[in-house]
Amino acid sequence: MVAVAVTGGWLATTTGELALAAVLGAFAVAMTARWPAQALATLIVFLPFQVTLLAFAYRVGAPAPFVRAASGVKEAILAGLLLLAIDTASRRRPRLDALDLLAIAFAVIATAYLILPSVAPSLLPTAPRDFGVRLLGWRLYIGIPIALFAARHIFLSNEVRRRLGRLVVRVAVVIAAIAVFEFLFSDAWNTIAVDALGVPAYKREVLGVFSVHPSDVRFYGLALDRSVVRVGSILFSPLTLGFYLLLGLGVTLRRVAGADRARSIGSAALVGAALVFTLTRSAALGAVAMTMVTFRNLPARTAPKARFGVLLACALVLLVPVSAQSGLADRTRSLAADDPSRQAHEQGLIDGVRTLVAAPLGLGLGTGAVVGARFGSQQVGSENSYLQVGNELGILGMLVFIALLVAVVRRLRRARAPDGDATLTLGVRTAFVGLALAGFFLHVWNDAALAWTLWALAGLALSKFPAPDPS
């Protein structure tokens, strides 16, 4: 009988694959300890590009065991950053503050829900019995506190932090450009994804994820009475893409409002257009909130505020026809009609509240929308990030997560960059505001590309060891 071991993001179906994954993971951990800045940069790039990179590697002949093992690089890098942070903290002995304690508490709760069904199944009778399913659900949550804690406790210069912030914007711009290409040349993008990159074959033969339409990677939605393509770019999901672009938009808006205005206008326009083409209404609402926050935080009666206001007015004029052409305007108007999507959201919210009342301890890891849908263990889809945490990790887990989120936003509001460059700090805070709002309507933290990147950037902005730039 073939034993299946699930560790991090990869599936090992044989002992040999497990050994190969362990070797690759150990190498990644060692390299991370030696070059943490480069490891963080690798993580920022690899997370959103993982599917396309590994699919192409499989397409050109890389064996499935190697591809499966290589997918665990991201978990190995995160583990390496955590080990380095623990080592740094043990030597410098900083005092653990409330933010550290909340991150540790959330990690402990998530880990308890991973282990309890195996040692005390009566406490969580609804949790999946398959440890591998729970482990994948655990990974979605544990990456958040680890990314935050590790990034806070590693020693990086201010210049490295600025470069990592710029790298996030560049990655978002590339992904947005692909999304715009997909919108303009939908058939061509589908051909590239299916035939050149081999994405469906990779998902089917390596990940075991089957699609109803194996020759079409596109996502279709309804805008009133017409079917429209909702772009997903390399993330292959309009929801995931819409929320990921909020991260890039948050930092970009701050750069537009600051000294990097001229170079960032084009990036903001491209990311904004791609976000519109996802037709994700909650992401669009988050973008509006982020723009208002950026404008409000600029000093009153100043030239930067006036310039940003003019640019905002121009953007609105341009986005109106774009929204109408893409279908976002029609999808927004459909909220007032008998919209199946709206009804599904409302029913999901009701189910989430009822589940929280009926099961205050939660249903267990792997019962949510992402992992549960993949392995047939989904018991509730609350359409709300906060209720979903409670539905899986109980009321206590939900409250700790909300407290952690609020604490991060408040700390980012008070934080002051030691070198005077607040672009990263304010940009990350702006992104948190937009995503926290979008989280009331959909699950925004269920993808590692967004969650790990954003919480790691928050850790960098709130570093325990602000390091001067090398002279």
**Average pLDDT for 284-310:** 71
Q: What angle do CA 145, 149, 151 make, to 5 degrees?
A: 120
Radius of gyration of the chain (CA): 22
Contact 179, 278 (CB under 8 A): yes
Q: Please give the residue that has the higher pLDDT: either 437 or 27.
A: 437
Q: Does residue 45 lie within any of the structural domains?
A: no
Residues present in the chain in total: 471
pLDDT-derived band of residue 314, with 50, 70 and 90 as boundaries?
low
Q: Does residue 243 lie within any of the structural domains?
A: yes
Structure tokens at 317: 């004029």
Q: What is the pLDDT of residues 29-81, one digit of tens each?
A: 888 888 999 999 999 999 999 999 999 999 999 988 888 888 888 999 999 99
Alpha helices, DSSP H, located in 120-191: 131-153, 158-184, 186-191
Contact 458, 263 (CB under 8 A): no
Q: Which residues pair with 11 in a beta bridge?
A: 6
Structure tokens at 57: 């590697």
Strands (E), 323-463: none
Q: Count CB-CB contacts under 10 A for residue 28.
A: 23
Q: What is the pLDDT of residues 401-453, one digit of tens each?
A: 999 999 999 998 887 654 445 678 888 998 999 999 998 888 888 889 999 99
pLDDT-derived band of residue 300, with 50, 70 and 90 as boundaries?
low
Rounded CA-CA distance 11/75 in Å is 13
CA distances 305 to 12, 268, 301, 420, Å, are 54, 17, 7, 19
Rounded CA-CA distance 121/235 in Å is 36
Q: Does residue 259 lie within any of the structural domains?
A: yes
Rounded CA-CA distance 457/285 in Å is 22
Q: What is the pLDDT of residues 189-218, one digit of tens each?
A: 999 999 999 999 999 888 887 777 788 998
DSSP for residue 335:
G
pLDDT attached to residue 325: 53
User: What is the domain extent for residue 183?
Assistant: 158-337
Structure tokens at 306: 């006036």
**In a 10 Å sphere around its CB, with 0-12 CB exposed, 13-18 middle and 19+ buried, how is residue 15 labelled?**
exposed
pLDDT-derived band of residue 88, with 50, 70 and 90 as boundaries?
confident
Residue bearing tokens 């079917």: 227
Q: Please give the residue that has the higher pLDDT: either 141 or 379.
A: 141
Q: Does residue 306 lie within any of the structural domains?
A: yes
Q: What is the pLDDT of residues 326-357, one digit of tens each?
A: 555 555 555 555 566 666 667 777 888 888 99
- Range ranked top by mean pLDDT from 9-13, 163-167, 290-294, 369-373: 163-167
Q: Is the pLDDT of residue 256 over 80?
A: no
Q: Please give the residue that has the higher pLDDT: either 150 or 65.
A: 150
Rounded CA-CA distance 49/54 in Å is 8
- At residue 5, the 3 state secondary structure works out as strand
Closest by CA position to 139, among listed 245, 47, 23: 47
The number of distinct structural domains making up the chain is: 1
**Average pLDDT for 396-405:** 96
Q: Which residues pair with 345 in a beta bridge?
A: none
Q: Does residue 103 lie within any of the structural domains?
A: no
Closest by CA position to 387, among listed 378, 379, 395: 395
Residue bearing tokens 């006036």: 306
Structure tokens at 327: 């279908």
pLDDT attached to residue 18: 72
% of the chain at pLDDT higher than 90:
36
Scored b (16 or more CB within 10 A) or e, 201-234 reads ebbeebbeeeeeeeeebbbebbbeeeebbbbbbb
pLDDT attached to residue 235: 93
pLDDT-derived band of residue 8, with 50, 70 and 90 as boundaries?
very low
pLDDT attached to residue 102: 96
Q: Please give the residue that has the higher pLDDT: either 254 or 340.
A: 254
Q: Does residue 110 lie within any of the structural domains?
A: no
Cα–chain center distance at 152: 19
**Average pLDDT for 121-134:** 88
Contact 281, 212 (CB under 8 A): no
Scored b (16 or more CB within 10 A) or e, 85-104 reads beebbeeeeeeeeebbebbe
pLDDT attached to residue 471: 44
pLDDT, averaged across the chain: 82
Rounded CA-CA distance 434/453 in Å is 15
**Average pLDDT for 93-111:** 92
Rounded CA-CA distance 346/9 in Å is 32
Rounded CA-CA distance 68/156 in Å is 31
Q: Count CB-CB contacts under 10 A for residue 395.
A: 16
CA distances 416 to 155, 467, 469, Å, are 17, 13, 16
Closest by CA position to 367, among listed 386, 344, 390: 390
pLDDT attached to residue 353: 87
**Average pLDDT for 244-248:** 92
- At residue 60, the 3 state secondary structure works out as coil
pLDDT-derived band of residue 390, with 50, 70 and 90 as boundaries?
very high
Q: Does residue 195 lie within any of the structural domains?
A: yes
pLDDT-derived band of residue 463, with 50, 70 and 90 as boundaries?
confident
Q: Please give the residue that has the higher pLDDT: either 7 or 41.
A: 41
Contacts of 106 (CB under 8 A, 6+ apart): 141, 144, 145, 397, 400, 401, 404
Rounded CA-CA distance 270/177 in Å is 7
Helices (H) and strands (E) in the chain, counts: 19, 4
CA distances 189 to 181, 185, 193, Å, are 7, 6, 6
- 95: alpha, beta or left? (left if phi > 0; alpha if psi -120 to 50): beta
